[in-house]
Structure 1
């Protein structure tokens, strides 16, 4: 069979973007933990970001995952504050992780810790945003790709 009879499928380009911005001074374990927590609610809040379940060649079933990449970025405390403001002004789906959450041990206490501080006073160590690609890119202005 000639190559031109079976062309490669075109690359998939998504109109939306999932991005996580982490504060640059976090320890490695904190970066991983914060990223996992930040994206954990996205699938229930925006079900269309989740693809179909997986299965291997033996038929073993696996959970579905996001249907698109998650961009992981890093920045300064000021980058996080600015991204938070821009994400909210663009009405992007947003999750936050504050420094206080490193001292709690459960979901109830996590929510109480965030609820105890006003929006502009949150000590953000991570933020996840989802929405139209261009709006997410604008919200993340000044951040850089995680190394």
Structure 2
């Protein structure tokens, strides 16, 4: 991690600029509950596969322990279906860690069925409603070109 002057986060008065970025891209036509659900599922994939994105456990002043969370902000973007398809291809071409959520997953009720739904669909035919990507800041910015910050 390098320290530079930005507005991303502070550590004892020092502003921290992360060399990497965690980003979620959602299809803009999702219902509010779907946006939240998809985001939670997508980032769980990054956290479980990439231990470097997870910080240290938390504890309050009484010593109550809490689970660790991401060590950096998660930025959430939105865009039309075409933006997701393009971003998906860009992430794959850059070999960035990627999780996906397709529209089929709204009709399934468990992990096994979720994985079967994705596996049954060729990559070019995935009906993406969301994706999460992690990597060097500039590479993630290029993947997300054309998307806009979620309101």
Q: TM-score range by the shorter chain?
A: over 0.9
> Superposed, which structure 2 residues align to 1:23-62 within 5 Å?
23-62=27-66
User: What is the TM-score with the length of structure 1 in the denominator?
Assistant: 0.94
Q: Which residue of 2 aligns with 1:81?
A: 85
Higher Rg of the two aligned structures: 1
The number of residues matched between the two structures is: 140
Structure 1 gap ranges (5+): 1-7
Aligned to 2:8: none
Q: Which residue of 1 aligns with 2:118?
A: 114
Cross-structure match for 1:5: none
How far did residue 96 of structure 1 move? 0.3
- Match of 1:11, SS state, is strand
- More strand per residue: 2
Tell me: higher relative CO, structure 1 or 2? Use CA pairs within 8 A at least 6 residues apart: 1
Match in the other structure for 2:5:
none
Structure 1 segments (4+ residues) deviating >6 Å: none
In the aligned structure 2, how far is the partner of 1:44 from the partner of 1:81? Answer: 24
Mapped to 2, the partners of 1:13 and 1:62 lie a distance apart of: 25
C-alpha displacement of 1:10:
2.0
TM-score normalised to structure 2 length: 0.91
Structure 2: which 5+ runs fail to align? 1-11
How far apart are 1:43 and its partner, in Å?
1.7
Residue 132 (structure 2) pairs with residue 131 (structure 1): no
Paired with 1:113 and 1:92, the residues of 2 have a C-alpha distance of 22
